[in-house]
Structure 1
């Protein structure tokens, strides 16, 4: 996952965590996107090995904000640059949102 995220970075530092066996990442937006202060502040990525090779339209998105908009191998991502995004959607929010996705869709306790 880190190789893919490093390729996507544009001068920002990604935040990686593991949650219930899944690797998740919040990638802060670059300074270029700071010109849109009313939108979110980061994109979110999750590595889901069981969906490897599928497109983002082919996996359950649950309540992922705006749906998934990125797929590469087993890594899927979403952004916070939608009309219904807001400035509270920072790195902390993105990581929590991915944890909620894991609980909602991937972990059936």
Structure 2
């Protein structure tokens, strides 16, 4: 028996390329789960290590601004908490960073 999978059964976002999906995400408002601020608009779109999310008790459900994440973990973030990925250190579309985010990227523990 042969199974035929049609792309018509996939949701529209799943039929997009990786770049297309990223553009779709970037075009939407990404609100902090706790205070509801748009984290992209304020320049706090970032990635931290999984253990930081675990300390905050978020389990990757939604987004947190840096202030709410720090409240959740009970301390100020430092450079070692952030992943070495373009969203944190890159240029271009990733270059917009809040003063708070820039400070944390330069902070040593």
Q: Same fold (TM over 0.5)?
A: no
TM tier relative to shorter chain:
under 0.3
- TM score, norm. by length of structure 2: 0.27
Larger strand proportion of the pair: 1
Determine which structure has more spread, i.e. the larger CA radius of gyration: 2
Structure 1 or 2: more helix by fraction: 2
